[in-house]
Amino acid sequence: MFRFREVQLVRRAWVANRQFCALVRQEPALLRTQTQRATKYRHFSFESWGMALSRSAPVAYAQEFLETVHMNSGLSWCTTIVATSLALRIVVTLPLAVYQSHIIARLANLDKEIAQIAHELRGETARAVRMYNLDEKQAKYLYRRSLKKQINNLIVRDNCHPFKSSLVIWFQLPLWISLSVALRNMAYMMPYQDMAAQALFLELSVGGALWFPNLTLPDPLFVMPVLLGITNLLNIEFHALQHTKQLTKVRKVLTYTLRGMSVLMIPIASIMPTDVTLYWLCSSGFALGQNLLMINPKFRRACRIPRTANESQTPFRDLLDRLKKRFEFNKTGT
């Protein structure tokens, strides 16, 4: 406890050094201009891209946000990472997931109306073929163009553009990358090894808990990497079990690819600092809980998500039944 307070005092004493170091790092404008003129070609590599990412503005904002939460809350770094991860998920990801479910439900409810319009358009196209002597190619073109126009009108009417059904990933992925790189920078004293970075490194080295007291080192018992892989696999299998129909070839390839990436995350997480692995585990765990929450009929009605024709009133029992059928199919197949 005394060591932790001592490290905090050191950090607060040198926090003003950050601004000075930022001024020292800046090159003179004349020298920078001459360097740009002399350098005709620039060579890019994974190292240069990684360094550019670690110096990017979103990563800097993410690190500043984490440091602000830690200093104002007085929590340990382990608790700060867990609390910040869950808070961002609740404040940012969960509302977007609810809105995304609204869009998906509206799109699903358009299927019956689209089928009726398609049936009517087939009849009108057949009459147009007889009246104007259209060939098969012209008839298909007119049918597809008319159907697309009608579908677009329905989408505009219900405000359910398909792109909105992927809002979560477009907000979640940049946030996940920024926080992951920020935590890695903090553990490796990147991108600048000034006194403020050293003080932050010392705080992280004593800010762990349980079997991982040092957040700058990988998990010594490999517990969190294994839990991370299991949680990611559970998320993928959850989405796979949601599809009652037979999976298409593209979706099968995507599912197996994601499974492989989940397994690959175990060795990757085993060499990453514990603060990064802890954030990944919290994020994946909340994602699993969020997925289970979004299929709960009571929660969907509380969020006023429209009912759909394929919505189950016993979703968890249905998941277990599909899981049992899959195991039975695998046993009979082998």
- Which range has the top average pLDDT, 76-85, 186-195, 196-205? 76-85
Q: Is 101 helix (H, G, I), strand (E, B) or coil?
A: helix
For the cut 90, the answer to whether the pLDDT of residue 227 exceeds it is yes
CA distance 138 to 129: 9
With a CB cutoff of 8 Å and minimum separation 6, the contacts of 319 are 238, 241
Structure-token pair, residue 95: 């509302």
Q: Is residue 311 very low, low, confident or very high in pLDDT (cuts 50, 70, 90)? A: confident
- Reported as a single tens digit per residue, the pLDDT across 77-133 is 899 999 999 999 899 889 999 999 899 899 888 888 888 988 888 888 888 888 877
CA distance 211 to 229: 19
User: What does the pLDDT read at residue 283?
Assistant: 92
CA distance 300 to 308: 11
What residues are paired with 212 via a beta bridge?
209
- Reported as a single tens digit per residue, the pLDDT across 248-294 is 778 788 888 888 888 999 999 999 999 999 999 999 999 999 989 98
DSSP letter, residue 306: P
For the cut 70, the answer to whether the pLDDT of residue 31 exceeds it is no
Output the pTM of the full model: 0.78
DSSP letter, residue 243: -
